[in-house]
């Protein structure tokens, strides 16, 4: 339990640090750290596969990408010095954020209890996977089994998104 | 736990374009964590098959998030690519300066098209 | 053997085509045929889509389990009459617009980029098709992202640097929207344990009081409203449409927002039941109000625009209002109006954007004020523009009239008389902003045009380059003074240019651009005169959507 709490505290601190960091470089480095801590938290929540992915992609791919972008643009940041014109424009964002926050809290009031095996999320489809994945697909890792078999088309779509990003980069960066 | 998504949304208000991308990333991780939490089952083990009698965490949300993470990184990558291009084209990545530039452009020559976007780099 | 995979073929064909084209980016010979290959691909996709018609009409909903995993566990694809309508619309419009891209896109990208462009183009189309065909809500999210991401890229390649900003802003807003959508999916999953839409529908019914469901639906609705550019959330649209390449604007204007609308209503009628709206939240009231606001607000904004594409973009915002309004009426006539307007507006607006694209291609003029006498120079284009404009306004015998007729019927049926003037005023406003163009194009003398300050038009570069002695040539050469990066891309184009006739007056665009424009014009007439066919389909859909009650 205390592991969870420590990690959570770290995450919160990092998130705040990212939000209020002074320049982009600090921000992206902190984001990398944040991803790693997040991955640890997920391991603790029994989501090892996702944690690996987050560590590899969130910390391992996103951070270098950010650094690349910073090195090819600029590190300096104006910060929070917004013009007078923009001051009134800052009101709606906070209003929207408040609304979203309210909605989140409101919804969480009658959510199924955390971690209960009898939650609907854990009841309907999931047990089928747990019981049959190994026998039907031969994969010991149930996550893998779902990923490439039951929901293989999602994964194809995911690969296509990556491909789209590649194509998009070729389109916008390689114009000469 | 959901406090996250909140802290994260704040970042969207930032003026710097790269910062916005970072904020977006944070917001997404908030959503991911929510999914992972729905997958939590007390006293369970990671969904790797070791026999029928063991209780496992719910594998499905984990699968979804695996997919979502990859989708998210693709978006991040493209957004950063755009930032680089914007910097090449405008010389700044601050929203306030950008909107001032666009505004100035429009006022100077009401119906003029600025020279194409590919100005700036080779 | 292929027949049993029919419900998925039209999605897979563009996606596979995109992969082939991407490899083509590396192989030189493939670069030359990128367009031809794309054309083949979209044709094949359209053919497979049309083969779905008889099956859907006779069997109703066709379900397809991907990889043969049973639906609630695996991903299901399904074609019913509603998705069939969208599939047919997307595939056939894509064929027409692909023809158009051939010449028009050469101003925006270099030959080297062509395979990448067409790859992104096909991914975009494939993403949209996936969105309308899938019956799995998470799969919907994945395809939404494919379509969005390629959409951002396609906007970003626009000629001007503003395109980058437009794309970036769209990306930010769009990604926040899809993140909200994903969160909403999470909420629904949390309380049901399933992602399959039919399954969700069955399991959600007993949960209608749940706050989690309420907030989840709110997030999904919010996310999708951004995607369909519903009135207060339309802010990304005008810039994106204005700065995207012309062909892409036509494609997006006719399809993206429609697919957004489709998805929203698929969620409302396929995941929830109409009874949710009556029992829990009167969401249709909100949508009706927003639709009405969109009609008025969008049309008013359109009137004050001087940039052609921006004006049409605001007009799109207004037209989305009509669609949403019709679908929110929740009665057969209103929904028929909304459904047919999905088709009609797609055709009409594509026609308008293509015609504007023609004008920009040939003269570089993007402002309404500069269009004096353009009809003499490009009579066919302007004819098409006029026909489509009339159809958008809703003159009898055109597509728009049918829509408005049913919308008016629907609002009377629903007992909401205040909507009738909104619909009529919207049409009148449309008449105002479109008539400005037609009037200038046909009736204003060029002398009157000279009175307006001659704007330095760097975009009218090709006016001089193609050597058409149009009245605009002089200005075009003026714009040539500052070196324009895209000009080199035009060179191959003017070589291919077989028909730039040195005739004094008319100088139309290449046939590959003219034909699609005219086809759209003919279609917008045909949809008005032979309205029976789409009407039957729409009635079927409307009844089946409402009949679920």
Q: Walk me through the domains of chain B, giving residue ranges and CATH numbers.
A: 2-45+55-92 (1.10.287)
* Angle at C284 (CA atoms; ends C281, C286), nearest 5 degrees: 85
Higher pLDDT, C140 or C465: C140
Which of B13-17, B46-50, C199-203 has the weakest average pLDDT? Answer: B13-17
* Angle at B29 (CA atoms; ends B92, B95), nearest 5 degrees: 15
- Which chain A residues touch B39 with a CB distance below 8 Å? 45-47, 121-122
The burial class, CB within 10 Å (0-12 / 13-18 / 19+), for C157 is buried
Taking the Cβ of residue B35 and every Cβ of chain C, the question of whether any pair is shorter than 8 Å is answered with yes
pTM: 0.82
Would you call A150 and C74 a contact, using CB atoms and an 8 Å cutoff?
A: yes
Distance from CA of A73 to the nearest CA of B (A): 6
Residue C489 pLDDT grade (very low, low, confident, very high; cuts 50, 70, 90): very low
Would you call C193 and A161 a contact, using CB atoms and an 8 Å cutoff?
A: no
Residue A70 pLDDT grade (very low, low, confident, very high; cuts 50, 70, 90): confident
The string of pLDDT tens digits covering residues C338-356 is: 888 888 888 888 888 888 8
For residue C260, being part of any structural domain is answered with no
Query: Angle at which helices C399-413 and C419-442 pack, to 10 degrees?
Result: 160
Can you read off the two tokens belonging to residue C70? 């049973």
Taking the Cβ of residue B115 and every Cβ of chain C, the question of whether any pair is shorter than 8 Å is answered with yes
> What does the pLDDT average to over A32-57?
82
Can you read off the two tokens belonging to residue A162? 């990556």
Can you read off the two tokens belonging to residue C293? 């606001």
Facing residue for B26 by CB, picked from A18, A66, A93: A18
Instruction: Spell out the residues 6+ positions from residue C226 whose beta carbon is closer than 8 angstroms to its own.
Output: C173, C174, C176, C177, C233, C236
Facing residue for C168 by CB, picked from B5, B17, B109: B17
Q: For chain C, what is the domain count?
A: 1
pLDDT at C448: 43
Residue of C nearest to A149 (CA): C67
Would you call B113 and C160 a contact, using CB atoms and an 8 Å cutoff?
A: yes
- Which chain C residues touch B86 with a CB distance below 8 Å? 161, 164-165, 168
The string of pLDDT tens digits covering residues C98-110 is: 888 877 777 777 7
| DSSP summary character for residue C420 | H
Would you call B111 and C455 a contact, using CB atoms and an 8 Å cutoff?
A: yes
Residue C500 pLDDT grade (very low, low, confident, very high; cuts 50, 70, 90): very low
Facing residue for A47 by CB, picked from B39, B49, B52: B39
Residue of C nearest to B35 (CA): C186
Distance from CA of B114 to the nearest CA of A (A): 18
Facing residue for B117 by CB, picked from C145, C161, C459: C161
Distance from CA of A81 to the nearest CA of B (A): 9
For residue C201, being part of any structural domain is answered with no
For residue C439, being part of any structural domain is answered with yes
For residue C213, being part of any structural domain is answered with no
- Which chain A residues touch B119 with a CB distance below 8 Å? none
Residue of B nearest to C307 (CA): B111
Is residue A45 a contact partner of residue B40, using CB atoms and an 8 Å limit?
yes
Closest Cα partner for C38 from C12, C15, C16, C17?
Answer: C17
| DSSP summary character for residue C268 | I
Residue C324 pLDDT grade (very low, low, confident, very high; cuts 50, 70, 90): confident
The burial class, CB within 10 Å (0-12 / 13-18 / 19+), for C1 is exposed
Q: What are the helix (H) ranges across C157-273?
A: 162-192, 197-204, 211-227, 236-243, 246-266
Phi/psi zone of residue A16: left (φ > 0), alpha (ψ -120 to 50 degrees), beta? Answer: alpha
d(CA A116, CA A106): 20
The string of pLDDT tens digits covering residues B31-75 is: 887 777 777 776 666 677 666 666 677 778 888 888 888 888 888
Would you call B112 and C164 a contact, using CB atoms and an 8 Å cutoff?
A: no
Q: Where are the domains of chain A?
A: 116-176
pLDDT at C459: 38
Instruction: Spell out the residues 6+ positions from residue A33 whose beta carbon is closer than 8 angstroms to its own.
Output: A14, A59
Higher pLDDT, A92 or C500: A92
The string of pLDDT tens digits covering residues C398-410 is: 777 888 888 888 8
pLDDT at C483: 37
Total residue length of chain B:
122
**Which residue bears the tokens 């058409």?**
C468
Reduced 3-state DSSP string for chain A: CHHHHHHHHHHHHHHHHHHHCCCHHHHHHHHHHHHHHHHHHHHHCCCHHHHHHHHHHHHHHHHHHHHHHHHHCCCCCCCCCCCHHHHHHHHHHHHHHHHHHHHHHHHHCCCCCCCCCCCHHHHCCHHHHHHHHHHHHCCCEHHHHHHHHHCHHHHHHHHHHHHHHHHHHHHHHCCC
Closest Cα partner for B2 from B23, B22, B29, B24?
Answer: B29
Can you read off the two tokens belonging to residue C272? 């929830």
Is residue A134 a contact partner of residue B56, using CB atoms and an 8 Å limit?
no
The string of pLDDT tens digits covering residues C156-172 is: 887 777 788 888 888 88
Higher pLDDT, C466 or C318: C318
The per-residue pLDDT of chain C, averaged, comes to 74
d(CA C510, CA C494): 10
pLDDT surpasses 50 at A87: no
Taking the Cβ of residue A109 and every Cβ of chain B, the question of whether any pair is shorter than 8 Å is answered with no
pLDDT surpasses 70 at C452: no
Is residue C225 a contact partner of residue C286, using CB atoms and an 8 Å limit?
no
Taking the Cβ of residue A131 and every Cβ of chain C, the question of whether any pair is shorter than 8 Å is answered with no
Total residue length of chain A:
176
pLDDT at C109: 72
Domain containing residue C303 = 282-453+487-493+500-549
For the question of an ipTM over 0.90, the answer is: no
């Amino acid at each position: 339990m205390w592991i969870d709490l420590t990690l959570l505290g770290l995450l919160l601190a990092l998130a705040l640090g990212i939000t209020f960091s002074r320049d982009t470089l600090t921000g992206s480095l902190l984001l990398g750290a944040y991803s790693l801590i997040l991955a640890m938290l997920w391991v603790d929540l029994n989501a090892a596969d996702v944690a690996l992915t987050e560590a590899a992609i969130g910390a391992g791919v996103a951070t270098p990408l950010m650094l690349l972008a910073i090195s090819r643009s600029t590190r300096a940041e104006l910060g929070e010095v917004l013009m007078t014109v923009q001051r009134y424009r800052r009101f709606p964002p906070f209003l929207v954020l408040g609304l979203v926050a309210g909605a989140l809290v409101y919804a969480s009031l009658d959510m199924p209890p955390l971690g209960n095996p009898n939650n609907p999320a854990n009841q309907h489809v999931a047990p089928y996977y747990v019981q049959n994945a190994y026998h039907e697909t031969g994969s010991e890792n149930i996550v893998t089994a779902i990923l490439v078999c039951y929901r293989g088309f999602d994964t194809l779509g995911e690969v296509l998104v990556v491909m789209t990003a590649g194509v998009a980069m070729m389109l916008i960066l390689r114009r000469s | 736990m959901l406090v996250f998504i909140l802290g994260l949304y704040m970042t969207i208000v930032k003026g710097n374009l790269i910062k916005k991308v970072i904020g977006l990333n944070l917001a997404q991780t908030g959503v991911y964590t929510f999914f992972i939490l729905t997958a939590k089952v007390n006293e369970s083990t990671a969904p790797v098959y070791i026999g029928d009698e063991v209780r496992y965490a719910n594998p499905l949300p984990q699968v979804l998030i695996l997919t979502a993470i990859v989708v998210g990184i693709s978006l991040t990558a493209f957004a950063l690519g755009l930032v680089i291009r914007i910097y090449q084209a405008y010389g700044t990545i601050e929203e306030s300066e950008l909107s001032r530039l666009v505004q100035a452009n429009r006022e100077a020559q009401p119906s003029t098209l600025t020279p194409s976007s590919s100005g700036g780099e080779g | 053997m292929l027949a049993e995979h029919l419900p998925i073929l039209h999605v897979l064909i563009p996606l596979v085509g995109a992969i082939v084209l991407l490899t083509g980016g590396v192989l030189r010979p493939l670069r030359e045929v990128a367009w031809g290959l794309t054309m083949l691909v979209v044709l094949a996709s359209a053919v497979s889509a049309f083969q779905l018609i008889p099956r859907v009409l006779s069997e109703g909903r066709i379900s397809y389990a991907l990889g043969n995993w049973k639906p609630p566990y695996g991903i299901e694809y399904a074609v019913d009459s509603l998705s069939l309508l969208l599939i047919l619309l997307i595939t056939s419009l894509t064929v027409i617009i692909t023809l158009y891209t051939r010449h028009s896109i050469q101003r925006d990208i270099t030959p080297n980029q062509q395979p990448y462009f067409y790859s992104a183009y096909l991914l975009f189309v494939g993403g949209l098709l996936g969105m309308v065909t899938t019956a799995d809500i998470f799969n919907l999210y994945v395809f939404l992202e494919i379509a969005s991401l390629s959409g951002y890229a396609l906007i970003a390649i626009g000629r001007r640097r503003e395109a980058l900003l437009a794309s970036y802003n769209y990306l930010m807003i769009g990604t926040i929207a899809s993140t909200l959508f994903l969160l909403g999916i999470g909420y629904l999953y949390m309380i049901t344990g399933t992602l399959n839409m039919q399954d969700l529908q069955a399991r959600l019914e007993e949960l209608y009081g749940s706050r989690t469901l309420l907030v989840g639906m709110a997030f999904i609705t919010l996310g999708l409203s951004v995607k369909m550019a519903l009135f207060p959330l339309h802010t990304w649209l005008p810039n994106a449409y204005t700065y995207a390449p012309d062909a892409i604007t036509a494609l997006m204007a006719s399809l993206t927002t429609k697919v957004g609308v489709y998805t929203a209503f698929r969620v409302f009628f396929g995941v929830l039941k109409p009874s949710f709206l009556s029992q829990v939240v009167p969401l249709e009231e909100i949508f009706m109000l927003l639709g009405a606001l969109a009609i008025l607000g969008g049309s008013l904004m359109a009137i004050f625009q001087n940039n052609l594409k921006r004006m049409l973009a605001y007009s799109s915002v207004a037209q989305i209002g009509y669609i949403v309004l019709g679908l929110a009426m929740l009665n057969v006539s209103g929904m028929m109006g909304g459904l047919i307007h999905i088709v009609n507006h797609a055709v009409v607006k594509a026609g308008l954007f293509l015609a504007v694209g023609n004008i920009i291609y040939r003269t570089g003029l993007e402002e309404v004020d500069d269009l004096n006498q353009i009809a003499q120079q490009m009579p066919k284009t302007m004819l098409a523009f006029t026909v489509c404009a009339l159809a958008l306004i809703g003159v009898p015998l055109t597509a728009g009239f049918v829509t408005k007729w049913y919308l008016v019927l629907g609002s009377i049926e629903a007992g909401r008389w205040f909507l009738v003037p909104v619909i009529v005023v919207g049409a009148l406003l449309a008449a105002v902003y479109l008539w400005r163009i037609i009037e200038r194009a046909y009736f204003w003398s060029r002398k009157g045009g000279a009175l307006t300050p001659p704007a330095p038009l760097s975009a009218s570069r090709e006016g001089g380059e193609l050597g058409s002695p149009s009245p605009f040539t002089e200005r075009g050469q003026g714009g040539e003074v500052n070196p324009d990066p895209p000009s080199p891309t035009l060179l191959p184009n003017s070589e291919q240019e077989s028909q730039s006739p040195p005739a004094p007056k008319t100088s139309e665009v290449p046939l590959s651009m003219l034909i699609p424009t005219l086809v759209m014009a003919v279609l917008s007439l045909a949809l008005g005169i032979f309205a029976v066919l789409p009407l039957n389909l729409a009635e079927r859909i409307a009844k089946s959507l409402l009949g679920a009650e």
